[in-house]
Amino acid sequence: MTELIVSVPSDSGLREALGDEPGVRFVTWDLEEEAPCERIDIVVPPYLEGARWLARLEGVDARLVQWQSIGYNGVKDYLPEGLPLANAATVHETSTAELAIALTLAAQRGIPEFVRDNAKHRWDQRSFPSLADRRVLLVGYGGVSKAIEARLAGFEVEITRLARSAREDTNLAGDTVTVHGFTDLHACLAEAEVVILAVPLTTETQRLVDKAALAAMPDGALLVNVARGPVVDTDALVAELSAGRLRAALDVTDPEPLPVGHPLWDCPGALITHHVGGDSSAMLPRMVALIRRQIAHLRAGEAPENLVLGEWN
What domains, with CATH codes, occur in the chain?
A: 4-91+280-309 (3.40.50.720), 92-272 (3.40.50.720)
Report, as an integer, the average pLDDT of 175-196: 98
In this predicted structure, the answer to whether residue 172 has a pLDDT above a threshold of 70 is: yes
Residue 243 pLDDT > 70 = yes
Q: Is the pLDDT of residue 1 over 60?
A: no
- Cα separations in angstroms, 183 against 186, 187, 189: 8, 9, 11
Active site residue 228: yes
Q: Report the helix count and the strand count for the chain, using DSSP H and E.
A: 8, 14
d(CA 80, CA 62): 10
**What is the DSSP code (8-state) at residue 275?**
S
DSSP string, 23-85: TEEEEE--SSS--SSSEEEEE---SSS-GGGGGGGTT-EEEEEE-SSS--TTGGGTSPTT--E
The one catalytic residue among 134, 161, 180, 228: 228
Q: How far is CA 42 from CA 47, 78, 308, in A?
A: 15, 17, 15
Strand-pair partners of 223: 195, 248
Cα separation of 101 and 94, whole Å? 11
What are the tens digits of pLDDT across the range 48-107? 877 888 988 998 999 999 999 999 988 988 999 989 999 999 999 999 999 999 999 999
DSSP string, 189-239: HHH-SEEEE-----TTTTT-B-HHHHHHSPTT-EEEE-S-GGGB-HHHHHH
Mean pLDDT along residues 1-21: 92
Question: Among candidates 171, 170, 200, which has minimal Cα distance to 70?
Answer: 200
Q: pLDDT tens across 96-152, in order? A: 999 999 999 999 999 999 999 999 999 999 999 999 999 999 999 999 999 999 999
Return the number of other C-beta atoms located less than 10 Å from residue 304's C-beta: 20
* β pairing state of 247-250 and 270-272: parallel
Look over the chain and give the mean of its residue pLDDT values, rounded to a whole number. 95
Q: Which of 256, 292, 293, 297 is catalytic?
A: 256
Q: Is the peptide bond before 230 cis (omega within 30 degrees of 0)?
A: no
Q: What is the pLDDT of residues 279-307, one digit of tens each?
A: 999 999 999 999 999 999 999 999 999 99
Active-site residue (options: 161, 247, 275, 286):
275
Q: What is the pLDDT of residue 48?
A: 83
